[in-house]
Amino acid sequence: MADGPVRSPAHARRPAQRRDAGIPAGGQVLVGDAFSEGVEAAAARTATDRARGAAGGASLWGDAWAELRRDRLFVVAAGLIAVLTVMAAFPQLFTTFYPGNPDPRSCSLVDSLQRPSAQHWFGFDLQGCDYYTRTVYGARVSMVIGVSVVGVAAAIAVVFGSLAGYYGGVLDAIVARITDVWLAVPVILGGLVAITALRSPDGHVVAETLARLFGAIDRVTGARGLGVVAFVLTILGWPTMLRLMRSSVVEKKEADYVDAARALGASDLRIIVWHILPNAVAPVVVYATLSVGLIIAAEATLSFLGVGLKLPAISWGLMIHSAQYRVLAAPHLVLFPGLLLSITVFSFVLMGDAIRDALDPRLR
């Protein structure tokens, strides 16, 4: 009998294998250039995975843009929003060739409550102001509040949602509990209480400081009440977007391209900004687009209830508020600002739906 350990025939037939990645089955150790080439090849594969993950965001948005350009509803919504944006930025373009009065603050009681005509397309309000001109200028406040509030709220949501989702732990728990509390506050009711409180500081240092800041904003914009309304809607508008951002980051941070970037020594900031955000921010973009219309509607509601913007500001909500007791006698006072408000909200909702469909491959 031969000396040495007894091996089964199956074991004898198995080729020798080494667990070490640098030692092949033949038993020869890779040294020198051969070992360097193996390391470089592994690094190249890792870099490829990382680049694929970073390019995934670009591919996602490129494919979405291609889908949107073929979506007729998106084109219609984008066209309406473009017109409304130009109307808000340059209202004179819509009143220069208007046969009526192009000055929204030039009023005459002689024309009070006159009906629409060929000369004055939307008629006159109670003070005798040309209603078409005031309706055109009302777009400015609505668009400024909608875009600015959603922009700031989205920035808050992206920053804190990304940090909470990426690091987790105590930070995630704190952010989640604060978000839960904020989500329990109804936007309109919370806005009513907050705006009323901020307009009556009663010696409170923080409230008085904010009141002075809001006053400065009102003087710059020429819209009384714009500062406090925008501030309150921003404070109440970020929780849902933050939750969406956090959930998306939690999902994406486990991806292979994130592990590859981390293995190559990328910092947390670089991983979040360059690898996770491009792939995780899509739900926030969709909800933010929808929210612009919802915030515009919320501002109009607060102004209609008498706690939002104040005269002499020009706002669709204020115009409807002033006409609420004359709906039957002068229906045009509610019809035209209400129609523009509805078109604006509908346009942003329609665009949000189109973007959602384009960014979700399952809906294509």
pLDDT in tens, 44-60: 444 444 444 444 555 77
pLDDT of residue 18: 39
pLDDT of residue 338: 94
Q: Which domains does the chain have, with CATH numbers?
A: 42-363 (1.10.3720.10)
Please provide the distance, in angstroms rounded to a whole number, between the alpha carbons at the two ends of the chain. 72
pLDDT of residue 197: 87
**Mean pLDDT, range 3-15, rounded to an integer:** 44
**Mean pLDDT, range 284-312, rounded to an integer:** 93
Burial class (CB in 10 A: 0-12, 13-18, 19+), 46: middle
Residue 20, pLDDT > 60, answer: no
Least confident of 121-125, 130-134, 211-215, 241-245: 211-215
Residue 348, pLDDT > 70, answer: yes
Output the DSSP codes for 185-243. Answer: S-HHHHHHHHHHHHT--TT-HHHHHHHHHHHHHHHHHT-TTHHHHHHHHHHHHSHHHHH
pLDDT band at 203 (very low <50, low <70, confident <90, very high): low
DSSP, collapsed to helix, strand or coil, labels residue 129 as: strand
How far is the CA of 250 from the CAs of 246, 259, 285, 351, in angstroms? 6, 13, 17, 27
**Mean pLDDT, range 99-105, rounded to an integer:** 85
pLDDT of residue 145: 94
pTM recorded for the entire structure:
0.79
Least confident of 105-114, 132-141, 142-151, 238-247: 105-114
pLDDT of residue 83: 96
Residue 125, pLDDT > 80, answer: yes
- Looking at residue 275, the DSSP 8-state letter turns out to be I
pLDDT tens digits, residue range 214-247? 888 888 887 888 999 999 999 999 999 999 999 9
pLDDT of residue 34: 41
Distance of alpha carbon 267 from alpha carbon 274, whole angstroms: 10
Q: Mean pLDDT of all residues in the chain?
A: 82
CB-based burial, 140-165: b 16+ in 10 Å, e otherwise = bbbbbbbbbbbebbbebbbebbbbbb
How far is the CA of 246 from the CAs of 127, 133, 160, 274, 286, in angstroms? 50, 44, 8, 16, 15
Residue 22, pLDDT > 70, answer: no
Tallying the residues shown for the chain, one arrives at: 364
Most trustworthy range by pLDDT among 25-34, 108-117, 173-182:
173-182
Q: What is the dihedral of CA 182, 183, 189, 192, to 10 degrees?
A: 30
For residue 129, which phi and psi values (nearest 5 degrees)?
-85, 145
